[in-house]
A and B are shown apart, each in its own frame.
Chain A
């Protein structure tokens, strides 16, 4: 269980990428994703792939994390490749398997889609690996703010998201502790049919719910005790100033996107 949370989980660090303002990081990511879809040929995408790998080096993320992050899309990528290989026709025939043929256009398109997918996932992973969930939420929440004019409680939504993210590790830890506690009382969560497995989870789920509700209660009281009120204007302890270099990164990303669209490669 603890392994699955490492996927896209924040890795503490001190690199330039870690220090970038999340309010800039989010739109920059969107621009980069747009760029990925603007490229029309493999060389451009390869350049993007190399760029993201270099950025991972700059952020000092261990290579292992890239592989782990890519694992979930492995099957999608393989599936896409197979579809393109066999069903896109045109160009030179590369391989003949009875009635099926693999033609060069299919190979090209398959590779194109896979490189795009991998690069896309890697860029997104770079964001979540180098940004704490909390600052990511604030970065996203900043863009929700204008929506409060049309009645969406943006501040509250951000608070809910931040709390939810904050308590994911806590709940995972709690469930592991409970699992061990019940295992020491002879519980077996691994064997048996699906039905009995589900039934066996009661000793895990009930206490987890009880503690989640108690935590929620305590948190609500603690927040009120510290003056949290709905609709009140809040200021932040750490002001997230957007620095010159952040603006530069945004500008460069925009220029690159414009260039890619203009050159049309």
Chain B
């Protein structure tokens, strides 16, 4: 197991009338190099789970593993975990505090104690990786950027530590469709060509479902389903019962199938849907 948890339970404000179990005995694991989606409606415990994987929250009971070792309270071990697992928070641009984009992206590598030359190298590489490769952008104030650019800078600020694992909490929240497309392309590229293990939490399956190898479904702090994406996406009624909407294209294709068209039912992206419809059209003409 590369990353995983064993009977992980987390209680917020234990011992008070406000105590609530955010996670209840979660056991799951991720393979190295996989692309996994963590899905669940709001309040299902996604953020709490993610923050455990980086050692930011301590389990009330149970264990968290990374690369064969349990993530414990030991500080230097925690630091090395954080160096290898990059965590992008929800609305990560809210964390900006530097006066230039460069300093913002350089914050994490500087904290890790890299030399200034290496920091600069990492920053430039990170900016290129997210596709913001203009030199003058680095000298601008982060608050002057557009929403989409800010999000990409926030990603670059995590990629600058060159993590092996990238965990993202609702990365597409409040982005426009073009921004989302750009983001998902980036994630897919990082995973497929750079072999970075990716875990994305979301409650919105549109566009991203087709990218995932695996799916983990949370509901009210419990693990409901985990396994291969295709397999779990096929369990439509169960997903809908948990308040999770399928990708819109899937719903359209399903509707076509209900109307008696011979369409394949495992279609989760717009491009796959287009191909399928063209295939149908051609078959029809022949």
Contact = CB atoms under 8 A, between A and B. Distances in A.
Interface stretch (B34-42, B92-100, B131-139): B92-100
Interface in A206-252: 206-207, 210-211
Interface string B94-123: 111100000000011001100000000000
B15 A64 contact: yes
A43 interface: no
Give chain B's interface residue range (CB within 8 Å of chain A).
20 to 34
A207 B104 CA distance: 12
B82 A207 contact: no
Nearest to A211: B94
B65 to A, nearest CB: 18
Contact of A186 (B17, B79, B94): B79
Contact of A207 (B51, B79, B83, B97): B97
A63 to B, nearest CB: 12
A182 B95 CA distance: 8
Given A178-B94, A184-B56, A203 B107 contact: yes
A148 interface: no
A177 B90 CA distance: 10
A241 B109 CA distance: 60
A186 B15 CA distance: 31
A185 B96 contact: no
Contact of B56 (A11, A62, A180, A202): A180
B2 to A, nearest CB: 19
B82 A186 contact: yes
Nearest to A2: B13
A183 interface: yes
Contacts of B161: 185-186
B92 A206 contact: no
A153 interface: no
B16 interface: yes
Between A62, A178, A185, the greatest number of chain B beta carbons within 10 A of the residue's beta carbon is seen for A185
B157 interface: yes
Contacts of B13: 2
Contacts of B96: 206-207, 210
B30 interface: no
Nearest to A190: B75
Given A185-B108, A185-B111, A207 B94 contact: yes
Between B51, B143, B157, the greatest number of chain A beta carbons within 10 A of the residue's beta carbon is seen for B51
Contacts of A210: 94, 96, 143
Interface string B189-228: 0000000000000000000000000000000000000000
A146 interface: no
Contact of A188 (B17, B111, B143): B111
Given A186-B108, A203-B97, A207-B94, A6 B157 contact: no
Interface string A1-38: 01000100001100000000000000000000000000
A51 interface: no
Nearest to B160: A185
A188 B110 CA distance: 12
A50 interface: no
A187 B107 CA distance: 9
A12 B56 contact: no
Nearest to A174: B94
Contacts of A2: 13
B111 A186 contact: yes
Nearest to A205: B97
A184 B89 contact: yes
A12 B13 CA distance: 15
B111 A202 contact: no
B5 interface: no
B17 A203 contact: no
Contacts of A12: 17
Interface in B1-55: 13, 15-17, 51, 54
Given A2-B13, A12-B17, A181-B89, A186 B83 contact: yes
A183 B95 contact: no
Of all A-B residue pairs in the complex, the 9 with the closest CB atoms, nearest first, are A186-B111, A206-B97, A185-B108, A184-B87, A180-B56, A181-B89, A203-B97, A181-B95, A186-B108
24 contacts: A6-B16, A12-B17, A62-B17, A64-B15, A180-B51, A180-B57, A180-B89, A181-B95, A182-B95, A183-B82, A184-B54, A184-B56, A184-B82, A185-B157, A186-B79, A186-B107, A186-B161, A187-B107, A188-B111, A204-B97, A206-B96, A206-B97, A207-B97, A210-B143
Interface of B: 13, 15-17, 51, 54, 56-57, 79, 82-83, 87, 89, 92, 94-97, 107-108, 111-112, 143, 157-158, 161
Interface of A: 2, 6, 11-12, 62, 64, 177-178, 180-188, 202-207, 210-211
Given A210-B94, A210-B96, 10 more contacts: A2-B13, A177-B89, A178-B95, A184-B87, A185-B111, A186-B82, A186-B112, A203-B97, A204-B97, A206-B96
